[in-house]
Amino acid sequence: MFKFLALATGASAALQIHPATLTAFEAFQTKFGKSYATDEEYAKRLQVFAKNIAMANEQNEQSILAGGEAVHGITKFMDMTTAEFATQYLNYQAPTGNVTRVVPTFDGPLATTVDWVAKGATTAVKDQGQCGSCWAFSAVDAIESYGFLSGKYGLIKLSTQQVTSCDKVDQGCNGGNTETAYQYVVGAGGIETDASYPYTSGTGVTGTCKFAASNIKVTIKGYTSVATGEANLKTALNAGPVSVCLAATAFQTYTSGILSSCPGFIDHCVQAVGYDDAFTTPYWTVRNSWGTSWGEKGFIRIKAGSNLCKISNDMTYPTF
Q: Is 33 helix (H, G, I), strand (E, B) or coil?
A: coil
| DSSP string for residues in 222-238 | EEEEEPSSHHHHHHHHT
134 included as an active-site residue: yes
* Residue 200 Cα distances to 174, 203, 300, angstroms: 15, 7, 25
Q: Which of 134, 166, 245, 269 is catalytic?
A: 134
For residue 288, indicate whether it is catalytic: yes
What is the distance between the alpha carbons of residues 13 and 115, in angstroms, rounded to a whole number?
A: 49
Partnered with residue 6 across adjacent β-strands are none
For the chain, the C-alpha Rg in angstroms (whole number) is: 20
Q: Residue 140 in contact with residue 315, Cβ under 8 Å?
A: no
Catalytic residue among 72, 91, 232, 268: 268
CB within 8 A of 62, min separation 6: which ones? 261
Cβ-contact 137, 170 below 8 angstroms: no
Print burial letters for 237-255: b (CB count within 10 Å at least 16), e (below 16).
bbbbbbbbbbbbbbbbbbe
- Tell me how long the chain is: 320
What are the angstrom distances between the C-alpha of 129 and each of 11, 44, 172, 267?
A: 29, 22, 13, 16
**Which member of 52, 131, 288, 309 is catalytic?**
288
Give the angle subtended at the CA of 306 by the CAs of 301 and 309, to the nearest 5°.
Answer: 55
Residue 207 near residue 199, CB atoms below 8 Å:
no
72 annotated active-site: no
CA distance 122 to 240: 10
Sorted by sequence, the CB contacts under 8 Å of residue 314 that are 6+ apart come out as: 94, 177, 178, 225, 228, 244, 245, 246, 266
The catalytic site residues sit at: 134, 268, 288
